[in-house]
Amino acid sequence: MSGARHLYVHLPFCAHRCGYCDFVTLVDRVDQHDAYATALVAELALERDVLAQQLETVFVGGGTPTFTEPHALARVLESLPPANEVTVEANPETVTPELAALLRSHGVNRVSLGAQTFRAHLLAALERRADADTIRRAVGVLRTAGFDNVSLDLIYGIPGQSVADLDADLDDALALTPEHISAYELEAKPGTRFTYSHGEELQRQADAMETYFEHVVDRLTGAGYRWYETANFCRRSGDRDLRSRHNLGYWHGRDYLGIGIGAVSTLGERRWRNAPRLASYIAALAAGEAPPREHEPLSHDVKRRERVMLGLRLDEPLELSGVRAALDVAALARMRTLGLAELVHDAGAGDAVRLTPRGRLLGGGVTAELLT
Amino acid sequence: MPQQRIRNFSIIAHIDHGKSTLADRILELTHAVSKREMREQVLDSMDLERERGITIKAQAVRVEWKGHQLNLIDTPGHVDFTYEVSRSLQACEGALLVVDAAQGTQAQTLANAYLAIENDLEIVPLVNKIDLPQADPDAASREIADLIGDTPDHVLRISAKTGIGVEDVLDAVVERIPPPNGDPDAPARALIFDSSYDEYRGVVAFVRVVDGSFSTREPLRAMALGTRFEAQELGFFAPTRTDSRTLTAGEVGYVITGLKDVSKLRVGDTLTSERRPASEPVPGYKDVKPMVFAGLFPTDSDDYPELRDALEKLKLNDAALFYEPETSQALGFGFRCGFLGLLHMEIVRERLEREFDLDLLVTAPNVAYRVKPPNQEAWREVHTPSDLPDEIEEVEEPYIKASIIVPKEFVGAVMELNNDRRGRFDHLEYLSEERVHLTYELPLAEIVLDYYDQLKSRTRGYASFDYDLVGFRPGKLVRVDVLVGGEPVDALSLIVHRDFAYERGRALVERLREEIPRQMFDVPIQAAIGSRVIARETVKARRKDVLSKCYGGDISRKRKLLEKQKAGKKRMKQVGMVEVPQEAFLAVLNLNGDRK
């Protein structure tokens, strides 16, 4: 084993917790940013052996990584091993020329910007702090600083969102010509403040989202974007592959190391998740020990099933060798009859399976059918 | 005991008019049971009966009163067991007719009184619950006297609860009810009026000796079925089992047969001695046939063997219960069960769930049909709607005579209900200024689903109802099939009158559209008579079924969600390509509720 080639770094701090968010986030805590950075660097050193010498990708996610104190953020970025793709997540209101310069000078070459929506009333519903101009200004700042790989996150199914709102969001996003767009449906987790205050409207949106997803796919592919993963689109641009190489690592079932609170690592048949508690994380690493973790062994069978679940999210075919045992042949025949899945014969690569565009819209149900 | 000193009698009453309480008081007064030992209502042994206030299994208890032997034969209290009641009454010379002083005559009072009159019984009328503040013993006495052609001053007034007047009741039994008058020297004959099953001793028959006498170890024969056995033990209940070695003309008691199959000894049959057999049986034996049928399926198909064992055990004590294995493409393996009526079905189902801890799916009940296919002489019985052939020359369905008593202001509501249910008006009679007795003829099929509920809700609970089967009548009946995704679903077929077919088919497909979740393709739901589609709905295909976010941090969670989705699919029943939840199969059950 030459080691994992993908690294995820979690920076949990946020200026404010948005009502719909269910990530591991911590509001404010500016006084702890430095101690957390120290702990992160320590965990990375502790696990350095599981990583390859040369990494393919690093992804710094959050929280709002760019809300982290610049000094602490710089220390984290400095400690990272070299990689071909280094992505940092940012909220538009945090993107200043200074921040852009800091990221550039530390080898970051891709920024994923949490725009979510350009409509003022929808931003308010999501409790986001940026407005449409802030988003546009942030993209401008990044372009000026030399970033040629910018991704925008969009959310649909927001309480109060109409089809016209969605169309306007897509227009505004496309006008910024981002290299990459992620479009998610709003997932309102039961029990969150958000679900509580928007209950009925969310039910209405759930019905509307059936058609919204299709609409998003139609609009973005119509504008020349490649729908390469269920929720992800990239611009077709000559010989540049603008897909998120880091996330492709997950979808291809590759090993990855995740550091920071709540971060998950998958290495062969081991998977663990760091406990999502800041104090114990900092304390353990200060003592030179691994942070508290929850371990989940992965059997061959489970690995195969995950491989199918993840692989069928992509537009490229999933090779059958290695996953055959997880597939129900009769179900595959049924899904082919229904025009939801297709077999791809390739003399060189061997047989593979792929979902049709309609199959991808129903990917969850189709995958549940296909798995043994 | 010489027959002159024997009195055999039953207590008959509408439900809750105090039959069991009176029986308890009689046992107490005759010292058959001491007050301390007394479990309330000793004659009703099963929990379920106690809870519902219904006596399912008749028993006979012997007590002594002023030098006489009194045999109290308890009768089942419900319409489904009319035949058993009539056999119990046949074993008596008299009956105590109990009427609640506050409620007056009710539907079962009438039905029971008519049964008693048919059996030539001496009726001792009594008004119970005279201690209640709302009691009107004068009015109740007048009603009951009118009913049986007696005078009001002849009606006893009692309170079984407090014991007032119960001694007079016992005196009246001795004075008014005639003794048995069988021939003690004739060849032995005994009427079987009930039977039960004991795990160790086999079938126990409850008998009334008509002529001659029986003794232990005697070879016996049941005359109608031809079953032969030896009497292992003879005796009576007082109220505990007492071995008496002989039973003589006029006496009531039990015979332990050692038979292992309850169906070999049917209620109404006559026992005789093999040594000197009687030439004629006691008249009146009937082979009782189940009229209401339903499919019973275990919710979890792994419970099928448990369900089979449970039905076998129930059948031992319930000769009227019929069952045969059934397979439904939709519900898997189960049983088609036949019942005497709705209450019988309800009791069996509750016993299966309670005593055997089974989770059951019970399909909508239907009645038995008689069908004659074209160019064939023989009629055949159909117990499952999907078995009704496409080509039929004639089809008949069972009819009942319904007897309904209501306060006069509800007469209109009851007539409307009966007209909606294909009822044919028969008779209307004022029992008093306030209360009316209505009789109707109705197809049994029209009352099996929700008739009682409708009757009760439309009369604010005041109606009392009873019915009697009057036989099969031809009907304009058709089978409505349901096709889901083009595949016929056997468990959803129904037999309906041609005039209601469109309406019922429409309601059924609409209900199914709500019950069947959206699939990955359009699912047409059709109701059809033969090849003619009479109603159609479509469950539109889903357009999105995928979780949008899936990254390194939540692969495990997403995998578990997917596995849950997969497990959910496994719980569905597969009809062709369509996944149908079990609940959808019960949609037919709720249809009537939608009817106006």
Find the helix or strand (DSSP H, E) in which B11 lies.
strand B6-13
| Contacting residues of B for A305, CB less than 8 Å apart | 559
| Tens digits of residue pLDDT in A173-232 | 999 999 999 999 888 777 777 777 777 777 777 777 788 999 999 999 999 999 999 999
* Partner-chain residue, chosen from A184, A214, A368, that has the shortest CB–CB distance to B562: A368
Mutation test of the interface with chain B: which of A5, A250, A254, A269, choosing the one with the most B Cβ atoms within 10 A?
A: A250
Whether the per-residue pLDDT at B415 is higher than 90: the answer is: yes
Our measurement of the distance from residue B142's CA atom to the centroid of its chain's CA atoms, rounded to an integer in Å, reads: 31
pLDDT score of B56: 35
Q: Are B363 and B294 in contact (CB under 8 A)?
A: yes
d(CA A312, CA A332): 13
- Coil, helix or strand at residue B543: coil
Contacts of B553 in chain A (CB under 8 A): 8, 258, 262-264, 273
Q: How confident is the model at residue B34 (pLDDT cuts 50, 70, 90)?
A: low
CA–CA separation, B343 and B321 (whole Å): 12
**Residue position matching structure tokens 């739901």:** B525
How far is it, in rounded angstroms, from Cα B196 to Cα B184?
27
What residues does B222 pair with on adjacent strands?
Answer: B271
Pick from B31, B28, B10: nearest CA to B177: B10
Q: Contact B559/A302, CB-based, under 8 Å?
A: yes
Per-residue confidence at B305, pLDDT binned at 50, 70, 90? very high
Record the pTM.
0.67
Averaged pLDDT for residues B250-260:
92
pLDDT over threshold 60, residue B58: no
Using a CB–CB cutoff of 8 Å, tell me whether B570 touches chain A: no
Q: Do A362 and B566 touch (CB under 8 A)?
A: no
Contacts with A, B 283-342, CB within 8 Å: none
In 3D space, the residue among B551, B548, B553, B558 whose CA is nearest the CA of residue A248 turns out to be B551
pLDDT value at residue B55: 39
Give pLDDT, residue B35. 53
Higher pLDDT, A124 or B31: A124
Where residue B590 falls among pLDDT bands split at 50, 70, 90? low
User: Is B556's Cβ below 8 Å from some Cβ in A?
Assistant: yes
CB distance A142 to A66 below 8 Å: no
pLDDT at B588 (0 to 100): 66
For residue B317, what pLDDT band results from cuts at 50, 70 and 90?
confident
CA A226, distance to chain mean position in Å, is 17
- pLDDT at position A226: 97
Q: What's residue B316's pLDDT?
A: 75
pLDDT at B52 over 70: no
Looking at per-residue pLDDT, the higher value among B431 and B416 belongs to B416
Determine the pLDDT at residue B571: 66
Between B504 and A346, the higher pLDDT residue: B504
| Per-residue model confidence (pLDDT) at position A360 | 96
Residue B596 has pLDDT above 50, yes or no: no
Judge: A364–B569 Cβ closer than 8 Å, yes or no: no
Query: Is the CB of residue B440 less than 8 Å from the CB of residue B418?
Result: yes
pLDDT recorded at residue B124: 96
Task: Please tell me whether residue B273 adopts helix, strand or coil conformation.
Answer: strand
Of these ranges, A128-142, A196-210, B364-378, the one predicted with the greatest mean pLDDT is: A128-142
Q: Would the CB atoms of A368 and B565 count as touching at under 8 Å? A: yes
Mutant choice from B521, B540, B544 vs A, greatest count of A C-beta within 10 A: B544
Of B544, B555, B562, the CB nearest to A367: B562
CB contact under 8 A, A210 and B542: yes
Flag whether pLDDT at A115 surpasses 80. Answer: yes
CA angle at B65 for the pair B53 and B31, rounded to the nearest 5°: 60
Tens of pLDDT, residues B382-399? 998 888 888 888 899 999
Say if A70 is an interface residue toward chain B (CB within 8 Å).
Answer: no
Cα(A232)–Cα(A254) distance, integer angstroms: 19
Q: What pLDDT, on a 0 to 100 scale, did the predictor assign at position B595?
A: 42
Average pLDDT of the segment spanning B4-16? 92
Coil, helix or strand at residue B571: helix
The single-letter code of the amino acid at B433 is E
pLDDT at residue B460 in the model: 83
What was the pLDDT predicted at B64? 92
The arithmetic mean of pLDDT across residues B413-431, rounded, is 93
Instruction: Report the 10 Å Cβ neighbour count for A21.
Output: 16
- Whether residue B546 and residue A230 make contact (CB cut-off 8 A), yes or no, is yes
Phi and psi angles of residue A177, each rounded to the nearest 5 degrees, phi first: 40, 55
Contact B480, B494 (CB under 8 A): yes
Nearest to B552 among A266, A302, A360 (CB): A266
Confidence of residue B452 (pLDDT cuts 50, 70, 90): confident
User: Cα–Cα distance between A164 and A181 in angstroms, integer?
Assistant: 19
CB contact B36 to A (< 8 Å): no
Give residues with Cβ within 8 angstroms of A162, minimum separation 6: none
* A99 alpha carbon, distance to own chain's centre: 21
Whether residue B274 has pLDDT greater than 70 = yes
Out of A231, A302, A361, the one facing B543 most closely (by C-beta) is A361
Six token digits for residue B128:
């119970």
Cα torsion angle, B259, B264, B266, B272, sign: negative
Predicted pLDDT of residue B594: 43
Q: What is the pLDDT of residue B54?
A: 40
The 10s digit of each residue's pLDDT in B140-195 is 999 999 888 889 999 999 999 999 999 999 999 999 999 999 999 999 999 999 88
**Average pLDDT over every residue of B386-414:** 90
B87 has a pLDDT exceeding 80 = yes
Among residues of chain B, what percentage have pLDDT more than 90?
46
Q: How many CB pairs under 8 A join A and B?
A: 101
Q: Please give the biggest Cα pair distance in chain A.
A: 60
Output the pLDDT for position B77. Answer: 58
A252 secondary structure, DSSP code? T
Q: Answer whether residue A63 shows pLDDT above 80.
A: yes
Q: What is the pLDDT of residue A270?
A: 96
Tell me which residue of A268, A211, A11, A370 sits closest to B540, measured CA to CA.
A211
